[in-house]
A and B are shown apart, each in its own frame.
Chain A
Amino acid sequence: MSLHGIRFILIQNRWYMQFDDDEKQKLIEEVHAVVTVRDAKHTNFVEFRNFKIIYRRYAGLYFCICVDVNDNNLAYLEAIHNFVEVLNEYFHNVCELDLVFNFYKVYTVVDEMFLAGEIRETSQTKVLKQLLMLQSLE
């Protein structure tokens, strides 16, 4: 894979559909292109190929979920926020650096809350309890 563009993936993406690596890279670039040109007056939804992107911006960081066109926009918009609140709690005031240096833990948080392309657990209390339990394991 080439290093074109100085794109640098912060938190690794979870893919719930089969794409090859080049296709993933292309998708990331395209999503980036459509999302970052939008401002606060725009909706948090963008049509994208045969799907739609639901995204939310936190400081310089965009959190995006790509879903089917007839999925519930607001439910996924809040699922993103729910996820970010868990990260915030888990990393005590999360900042971008936490996510870079602990990328392998972020995966664990993702898998606790989302699995197989579906929402797995929504209770922040339950997720944090589980994460703390895992943290205590060697």
Chain B
Amino acid sequence: TPVIQALWRPRREDYLRPGADTTAIMPAVSKGDGMRGLAVFISDIRNCKSKEAEIKRINKELANIRSKFKGDKALDGYSKKKYVCKLLFIFLLGHDIDFGHMEAVNLLSSNKYTEKQIGYLFISVLVNSNSELIRLINNAIKNDLASRNPTFMCLALHCIANVGSREMGEAFAADIPRILVAGDSMDSVKQSAALCLLRLYKASPDLVPMGEWTARVVHLLNDQHMGVVTAAVSLITCLCKKNPDDFKTCISLAVSRLSRIVSSASTDLQDYTYYFVPAPWLSVKLLRLLQCYPPPEDAAVKGRLVECLETVLNKAQEPPKSKKVQHSNAKNAILFETISLIIHYDSEPNLLVRACNQLGQFLQHRETNLRYLALESMCTLASSEFSHEAVKTHIDTVINALKTERDVSVRQRAADLLYAMCDRSNAKQIVSEMLRYLETADYAIREEIVLKVAILAEKYAVDYSWYVDTILNLIRIAGDYVSEEVWYRVLQIVTNRDDVQGYAAKTVFEALQAPACHENMVKVGGYILGEFGNLIAGDPRSSPPVQFSLLHSKFHLCSVATRALLLSTYIKFINLFPETKATIQGVLRAGSQLRNADVELQQRAVEYLTLSSVASTDVLATVLEEMPPFPERESSILAKLKRKKGPGAASALDDGRRDPSSNDINGGVEPTPSTVSTPSPSADLLGLRAAPPPAAPPASAGAGNLLVDVFDGPAAQPSLGPTPEEAFLRFVCKNNGVLFENQLLQIGVKSEFRQNLGRMYLFYGNKTSVQFQNFSPTVVHPGDLQTHILSAPPALRSQVDGGAQVQQVLNIECLRDFLTPPLLSVRFRYGGAPQALTLKLPVTINKFFQPTEMAAQDFFQRWKQLSLPQQEAQKIFKANHPMDAEVTKAKLLGFGSALLDNVDPNPENFVGAGIIQTKALQVGCLLRLEPNAQAQMYRLTLRTSKESVSRHLCELLAQQF
């Protein structure tokens, strides 16, 4: 939907540029209809040489108009129109206008079109909805709507459509459907009424009740007047998104209309033929309407539609009927929309491949627009299993586009497409091309390319040396654009993979020898050598002293954060290479370290120096031992890329492709579909933030916290079983099970709910043989949570022995309906390293369901009572699990509502009823689930007396099937 249409004259200077026609001060005013005074005023303004002169002229005019309006003499209609029009012009120049509204309203009741038009124009541009004049304006509109004069009716309808305020909706939403479907309304009035209604529906859907008129609106698709159809399709497309059932009949009507257009000859449609293309805009709109629905169920309709789609694809191959760009644009507008529909259906392999071939031809077209659109459209084709391979055949063309396109937005699309078409077979080629492109890429897209390369390298790495090379290359080529997420990730992977550690140490050592290497390289190098430098110490070219002096040569040019990291590397060196101890102690002891103005550096120097002097070799070895493996987690890089792209654009990035053979190195890279955006989960990974260092002196701290918080924040992800979000969703329909599990800890849940009360038992199991210390689970209620947790758990002992399990009991009372579940935050120390994780507690509003049995007739009566649009929430979604009726029943019962048999006329459907019990109020809920086995889809409808509850229940339940 277009939201703004802006037409403007960019700059005053352009008017006066050489060659501009400045002598023609005024165009000849045609006939007698012009307002001479207005033309004089406009040309005066245009002749002003400075802004000051312009303001002066305007102020003079404002004073003049004000005096006319205040004068004793009544103004005639013409003068009123002229002055109001001048005021409008002044407003459009960017000046405030604070009078004249009343005169404009007066013009509305004129019988002369030109006066009425200016009045309406002023109102639609200048009047805000809270104006006191609204009542008068609405009155005038009402009169015009009732006037039976189509010109006046259209003016009034356009005014409502342009203002679109709630007040106008309240006043007219009921009248407009009537005008729209009245048998005696003129075509132009129907057109305006349809779009007027669309605007009101978008602004305030609750004001436009569906009714008997909807069926008649659908039949406007058959109207003889193509303009009426053009307007009506837009309205139907908008309405059917929320009420797909009510408008279902539009599918076959749209298909037959489309079929008639597509098969007509280039001149059949006369007025509606544009450069030899029959009704391009209407075709596009019809194709978009069809994208609101799954493929037609009726075989005849579907056959006819497929025929249309094939015809469009065939026509694309025919020689053009005109060389004009207007011809090809109009033709291709239809083609691209056809391809969108084919992709939307994603069920016709033949059409998908043909679409792909067609787009392939456009990839080399001389029109930049077509190359751009083809790249964009192919991105979505790449994620269909039917066309993925066909898309891949264009890899060379796309790589070439990445290298040679002049328009950065086209290169961006090429990069997106390479990312979308990447799989194990072409990953090396794509990654190396992206790396090469990065050397010259525009700054605007570098960071995104870096993220894409990092993700692909990790996802498709077969050997880790290639992965390490790729990331180090990234840092070398675009160090500034390599975010923390990227280089933290390479450290995690190297730490977790002992087969790549030696290679990583060697490679990073070589990379550091470059005279100017990026600070991020120093960070990665410092960390890796501190951990694994011993693996290359046997080679005299990289002996411990050489490693140290190489790192230390970078030290002084680095930021505080990097220097802090290097100090940690140095103390690790003392443990790894006793022969470097004296040199390093010398460095730590230097005044520049011990008395460094930066408190972080000073503290590290002091502590490390003391540690290295007082601790025995054994203690040193324990404290500075190699880092334990990182727990697996979702790649924070992927999360970052999704954030950058925004929610709307995520589809091409979400790796929705089915790749069952996918065998990721870390298993953690697969996006978890519903992961809450993770705010830089590894932000504190290295403990290098400006925040003060851990207060405990290193000697008493355990092995871990010198460098790393092992896992922090909600992204901490178990390597076993589902992600926390998945686990949470599983609890929507059940009360007992495992909520979380990783290598250290398992959290089990048992819960029971009655009315608005609940009790939850949480079991914390220590899976290791080491005691957890300072173990503290707490429950917090973020956001709008209204659940009240009375929990006063018997104080948990702050230690959990290895292999032991402890239990916590929560008493829960639901005070009123809520959306956000409580959060469970668990903190403890394991081997000295602080551990923290935050999980959603599986308390959702449906836990407080009381099932309600009722007979069919009661059900329908209640269903009707809940017929306000906001009381209903509906979702149509693809089945994620096999569609088994018994499983579905069990889930619905687990959800908490009663299942009502013999209510829905269709035995395949499920209906349920229940009451949500909260302390403050009860919310009656009805639900209906309609499986469509053929399309592998469900439609779920919830009706409750509360809008937020309907929507929330619908969301929760829709994720269960």
Interface residues of A (CB under 8 A from B): 1-3, 6-19, 25, 27-28, 31-32, 36, 38, 41-47, 50-51, 60-69, 71-79, 81-82, 95-104, 106-108, 110-111, 114-126, 130, 133-135, 137-138
Contact = CB atoms under 8 A, between A and B. Distances in A.
B794 interface: no
B872 interface: no
A42 B406 contact: yes
Contact of B7 (A64, A115, A126): A64
Contact of B192 (A41, A43, A120): A120
Q: What size tier do the contact residues of chain B reach?
A: 35 or more
Contacts of A38: 407
B46 interface: yes
A10 to B, nearest CB: 3
B288 interface: yes
B353 to A, nearest CB: 22
A123 B230 CA distance: 11
Contact of A7 (B11, B29, B329, B332): B11
A13 B7 contact: yes
Given A10-B8, A96-B9, A120 B95 contact: no
A22 B161 CA distance: 22
B7 A78 contact: no
Given A11-B9, A115-B161, A3 B55 contact: yes
Contacts of A96: 9, 15
7 contacts: A7-B10, A17-B4, A67-B1, A115-B162, A122-B272, A126-B227, A137-B112
Nearest to A42: B407
A63 to B, nearest CB: 5
Given A101-B27, A104-B85, A118 B1 contact: yes
Interface string B158-172: 100110100000000
B2 A60 contact: no
A66 B1 contact: no
B284 A120 contact: no
Nearest to A73: B373
A9 B9 contact: yes
B12 A6 contact: yes
B282 interface: yes
Given A10-B7, A28-B6, A119 B281 contact: yes
B538 interface: no
Q: Which 4 A-B pairs have the closest CB atoms?
A: A10-B9, A116-B199, A74-B333, A137-B113
A81 B326 CA distance: 8
Interface of B: 1-15, 17, 20-21, 24, 26-27, 29, 33, 39, 42-43, 46, 51, 55, 85, 88-89, 92-96, 112-114, 117-118, 121, 125, 151, 158, 161-162, 164, 188, 191-192, 195-196, 198-199, 202, 226-227, 230-231, 234, 270-272, 274, 279-282, 284-285, 288, 326, 329-330, 332-333, 336-337, 368-369, 372-373, 406-407, 409-410, 646, 648-649
B117 A104 contact: yes
A123 B467 CA distance: 58
A97 B195 contact: no
B101 to A, nearest CB: 16
Nearest to B376: A73
Contacts of B199: 16, 115-117
Given A42-B407, A78-B329, A118 B234 contact: yes
A120 B161 CA distance: 12
A118 B191 contact: no
Nearest to A79: B281
B151 A62 contact: no
B272 A123 contact: yes
Contacts of B95: 1, 3
Given A15-B4, A72-B333, A25 B94 contact: yes
